[in-house]
Chains A and B, each alone.
Chain A
Amino acid sequence: DAGITQSPRHKVTETGTPVTLRCHQTENHRYMYWYRQDPGHGLRLIHYSYGVKDTDKGEVSDGYSVSRSKTEDFLLTLESATSSQTSVYFCAISETRASGNEQFFGPGTRLTVL
């Protein structure tokens, strides 16, 4: 597996509390992504980053914010968690190559919002 870690791996929190998930890479890849995975929906992009301090919204960005202050770290924050944000969150990284933009995924974080 590519050098990608996520923390925490599991979290249970209550509605209305802030939550921050961390993604850390040791591959020096330029692009980083946050996805959520829910049954029947596959992987949906929340936010992505194309460089330090350069981020943009994905298709399901409402209620989430991100920050990338260093190449290796990409943080996902739920400002006020809701039950609809219960999901498995995957971080991914990639680098632009002529052969294609293969993404490497982290191990995932299972978040439960009660």
Chain B
Amino acid sequence: GENVEQHPSTLSVQEGDSAVIKCTYSDSASNYFPWYKQELGKRPQLIIDIRSNVGEKKDQRIAVTLNKTAKHFSLHITETQPEDSAVYFCAASAGGFKTIFGAGTRLFVKA
């Protein structure tokens, strides 16, 4: 069935450094790729998304890139801050309403 793999499972960076989280998907029909952030004890919330007709999207310190040929997409966070510490989930959706989530990346930003 459809699958989304996410790496790394844990990422520790120094404040001010960049963080990169990578995902691969299996369903070539996937055309919508959201990223969710979940702070400790909270619900997941959308932080950025990208559609398959776009290769890159940026929103302030976060950006997402998509390589449809390789079925890869990545989240980039620049100038990390302690409040970026959270679990991040990538996901892929094949045009319908079902979304497959990656297993999550726990990001630690050390002050």
Taking beta carbons and an 8 Å cutoff, which residues of A are in contact with B?
1, 31, 35, 40-45, 48, 50, 58-59, 90, 94, 96, 99-103, 105-108
Asked whether B49 lies within 8 Å of A48 as measured between CB atoms, the reply is no
Q: Which residues of B contact A90 (CB under 8 A)?
A: 43-44
* Cβ-neighbour of B44 out of A43, A45, A101 (below 8 A): A43
- In the complex where A43-B44, A105-B44 touch, is A100 in contact with B101 (Cβ < 8 A)? no
Give the distance to chain B from A98, nearest Cβ to Cβ, in Å: 9
- In the complex where A40-B9, A42-B89, A96-B97 touch, is A101 in contact with B32 (Cβ < 8 A)? yes
Residues of chain B at interface, number, CB under 8 A:
23
Asked whether B101 lies within 8 Å of A42 as measured between CB atoms, the reply is yes
Q: Return 5 A-B CB contacts under 8 Å, by A number.
A: A41-B103, A100-B51, A101-B93, A103-B46, A105-B45
Taking beta carbons and an 8 Å cutoff, which residues of B are in contact with A?
1, 6, 9, 32, 34, 42-46, 49, 51, 89, 93, 96-104
- In the complex where A50-B97, A94-B97 touch, is A42 in contact with B32 (Cβ < 8 A)? no
Q: Which residues of B contact A59 (CB under 8 A)?
A: 1
- In the complex where A1-B43, A40-B103, A105-B44 touch, is A31 in contact with B97 (Cβ < 8 A)? yes
Q: Which residues of B contact A1 (CB under 8 A)?
A: 43
Give the distance to chain A from B25, nearest Cβ to Cβ, in Å: 13
